[in-house]
Amino acid sequence: MNYKENSLFSFLEEQVNTFNQPSFIKDDPISIPHQFSILQDIEIVAFWTAMLAWGQRKTIMNKARELIQLMDNAPYDFMLNHEEKDRVKFLTFKHRTFQATDTLYFLSFFQNFYKKNNSLETAFTQYLTVDVTTVEPALIGFHNLFFSLEDAPQRTRKHIASPAKKSTCKRLNMFLRWMVRKDDKGVDFGLWNEINPSQLLIPLDVHVDRVARRLGLIQRKQTDWKTVLELTQNLRDFDPYDPVKYDYALFGTGVLEKSKGGF
């Protein structure tokens, strides 16, 4: 590692230590699933919150709270036991382009899945083999699984990204970071054990993209799936076992610069 790389490493590590703290939680959507203690409750709320994560963070968090109330403040129990008539109250829920049709399909998927599986982790890990270095096949497989129900609406597909579409998959990668990363800081949950933190990929949003380019961590002109792979690979040079921890450094720096707190 040359002097320039060592200087960048020191900066990134310092920023990780600054933002990977419990004080980060209160203003971030990850605070919503932190209200729960049961694995499945955390999974459901974390996933849905992550999928709604575009726009102002305050709005995202308010919308997630609204969903939780609609699920009677017991997401897993609601998914297992609700009946068709219980879905009527969700018809008024919307967030930007996320509409009632999408909400109803999410409910269908979760109910169908949790009646057959114990954890949402299985929906991703069944597509991973021992030789894969990233979660790319898990994201592609999950997208296909999510829309495998007979009544899957075409319009809802835009809300669950896939590398097969060259998307950056920011929200899915953020959700996986929440569920997989393990440390003693108390921000990420680290509840899933079958995905290795080294396989995670950076949640690439506008803040991360801007800061990473300025630091020379991205050379690719476009911002797409290949950019995610490039950035994550470059971050592996600093920590091959937990490259996505630098999401804290890049995102935190970017948001601080903009001082608007948006996604």
pLDDT tens track for 126-180:
999 888 999 999 999 999 999 999 999 999 999 999 999 999 999 999 999 999 9
Domain residue limits, the chain: 3-254
Measured CA angle at 135 (ends 131, 136), to 5 deg = 100
Express each pLDDT in 32-88 by its tens digit.
999 999 999 999 999 999 999 988 889 999 999 999 999 999 999 999 999 999 999
Q: Which residue has the tokens 């319009």?
A: 155
- Is the alpha carbon torsion for 141, 243, 246, 183 positive or negative? positive
Q: What angle do CA 1, 204, 219 make, to 5 degrees?
A: 50
Nearest to 252 by CA among 34, 46, 17, 29: 17
Confidence of residue 261 (pLDDT cuts 50, 70, 90): very low
Confidence band of 105 (pLDDT split at 50, 70, 90): very high
Each residue's pLDDT tens digit, 180-218: 999 999 999 999 999 999 999 999 999 999 999 999 999
Please name which of 201, 225, 195, 202 lies closest in space to residue 130, comparing C-alpha atoms.
Answer: 195
Interior CA angle at 161 toward 178 and 245, to 5°? Answer: 30
